[in-house]
Chains A and B, each alone.
Chain A
Amino acid sequence: MLQEKDVVVVGAGPAGLAAAIEAGKAGASVLLVDLNLMAGGQLFKQIHKFFGSSAHHSGTRGFDIGKMLLQEAKDAGVEIWLGSAVIGLFPGMKVAIEKGLDGTKKEVITIQAKKIIVATGASENVIRFKGWTTPGVMGAGAAQTMVNVNHVKPGRKILMLGTGNVGLIVSYQLMQAGCQVVGLVEAAPKIGGYAVHAAKIKRAGVPIYMNHTIVEVKPGADGCVEKVIIAQVDEKFNPISGTEKEIEADTVTLAAGLKPSAELPKLMKCQYTFNGVFGGSIPLHNENMETSIEGIYVAGDTTGVEEANTALEEGKIAGIAAAQALGYIDAKVAEETKKEIWHRLVALRMGPFGERRLAEKEKIIAEYAMKIGAPVPEENMEGYDHVDN
């Protein structure tokens, strides 16, 4: 006999936690699974105060929001498995979970779920240049994890590639941790992130090299980063010969955007769409955050890269919708609550960055309505093989 759960949530970041809390509060038995040793996803790296309205924790630091959510999940009776990776989804709503740390004996446990919510977040994009694999070149998120979570500096002299909000905020946080940021490099003619973050960098006297890119990273005798060659780029972002500058640094951090981590729904043959604004290929979903396959929901960056607050709200919708489908919430109450959340999401998706995302989200939901209409039970799918246990 397989262990049974009403709802299995994959990923314990803001979206997964919110989904698990809502489903748990409604009375569903919920298992929340996360690869990491601590729940909270990337929230515990966010040591800055959030923007937005008070309904969206403005003025609260990310790690405090993380702590609040963990307590709420506990109060809602959510079972949490940490250090556990979901390695497969199988026909009949079966979730295979590998439990255990590297270097120890691992075991695979299969859970029989009624509903599955995938909230696996996003991963950092990489920019390749000569020497990009040299130790000392890393994701901006990796550097942020080192200083803000592990309290250790990834290097002494750091060059940041990218001036989106991640590039700007992580640069500032590296300085707060005592690292020297020797510069930021941006291929575009305009700063990518908010002016308020860029102003902090400029006030600290850190140069921002606009219309520049990294051409090469040169290792020293120890095999690690020692020098970085940057150059100006033309309008097609190709380096212009003769404009090279040499910068001394022991660390290069890459902040080149994120792409949704949305591999798991593919295993259940959910339908996808490509969306440039949201960072890549994402599972098509409706207003319930349900995919083309009945009972499989998505939330947060998996459905398109945004931020913690939108992830939280989408997670709530998925959790409520799953609990509603299982009969734990009265349909009328559920519909009203979800409508309120969608209104809050509209408020979050405002401003020059947000408006684009609002329009794209509407397009995705319209595409779902046109192509899929209503979610299909998996046994009606083409190529479905029933597995008997």
Chain B
Amino acid sequence: MCMRVENHVILDVEKKVSPVEITVDGLVIEAYEGEPVLGALLNAGIKINRYTVKRHEPRGLFCGIGQCTDCAMVVDGVPNVRTCITPVKAGMVIKTQDGLSKGEA
């Protein structure tokens, strides 16, 4: 499931570096260092980032610029990380956030 933009008429979208690996709920996916975590997740077809506290409803990308917090996940043990403005680092471990996760740190 590749959702990368390819062959764009205006933008230079060619990747000049090799991807790294990150883990999402135990699944290893490809990502590029420095891109937002959320971008790598969308490319892998992962659209749900967290579940709400009371009704356990799914939430995903909504504002994409760090304002709405709907894309918050547990990143390297730290909960409430806004994945749309958090850059990828090789080896990151990401988990879907359930309610007000306390994380593991």
Contacts and interface: CB of A to CB of B under 8 A. Distances in A.
A224 B48 contact: yes
A61 B9 CA distance: 13
Contacts of B64: 138-139, 141-143, 145-146
Contacts of B80: 102
A103 B47 contact: no
B85 A36 contact: yes
A147 B61 contact: no
Main secondary structure of the interface of B (DSSP, over half): loop
Contacts, number: 110
Given A177-B8, A178-B6, A224-B48, A146 B63 contact: no
Contacts of A133: 57, 59
A152 B8 CA distance: 11
Nearest to B74: A103
A373 to B, nearest CB: 35
Nearest to A142: B64
A142 B35 contact: no
Size bracket, chain A contacts: 35 or more
Contact of A135 (B7, B10, B48, B81): B48
Contact of A146 (B61, B66, B81): B61
B5 A151 contact: yes
A176 interface: yes
A334 interface: no
B86 interface: yes
Contacts of A136: 47, 60
Interface in A108-148: 123-124, 133-139, 141-143, 145-148
B22 interface: no
A102 B60 contact: no
Contacts of B87: 37, 101
A223 interface: yes
A154 B60 CA distance: 11
A301 B59 CA distance: 28
Interface in A4-62: 35-37, 47, 61
A197 interface: no
Contact of B39 (A61, A103, A152): A152
Given A61-B10, A124-B63, A142-B61, A151 B76 contact: no
Interface centre among B11, B38, B87 (most CB of A within 10 A): B11
Interface string A188-208: 000000000000000000000
A153 interface: yes
A147 B5 contact: yes
A128 B48 CA distance: 20
A134 B49 CA distance: 12
Contacts of A176: 8-10
Interface string B7-29: 11111010000000000000000
A181 B85 CA distance: 26
Contacts of B84: 142, 145
B65 A36 contact: yes
B102 interface: no
Contacts of B4: 151-153
A389 interface: no
A103 B76 contact: yes
Interface centre among A47, A148, A154 (most CB of B within 10 A): A154
A241 interface: no
Interface of A: 35-37, 47, 61, 101-103, 123-124, 133-139, 141-143, 145-148, 150-154, 156, 176-178, 222-224
28 contacts: A37-B85, A47-B11, A101-B86, A102-B85, A123-B63, A124-B63, A134-B58, A135-B48, A135-B49, A135-B58, A138-B64, A139-B62, A139-B63, A142-B65, A143-B64, A146-B39, A150-B35, A151-B11, A152-B35, A153-B4, A154-B3, A154-B42, A176-B8, A176-B10, A177-B5, A178-B5, A223-B58, A224-B60
Given A123-B67, A135-B61, A222-B48, 13 more contacts: A135-B48, A138-B63, A145-B65, A146-B61, A150-B39, A152-B3, A152-B35, A152-B40, A152-B43, A153-B3, A153-B4, A153-B42, A176-B9
Lowest 10 CB-CB distances: which A-B pairs, in order?
A135-B60, A142-B64, A150-B39, A145-B64, A103-B78, A102-B81, A151-B5, A103-B81, A223-B58, A153-B3
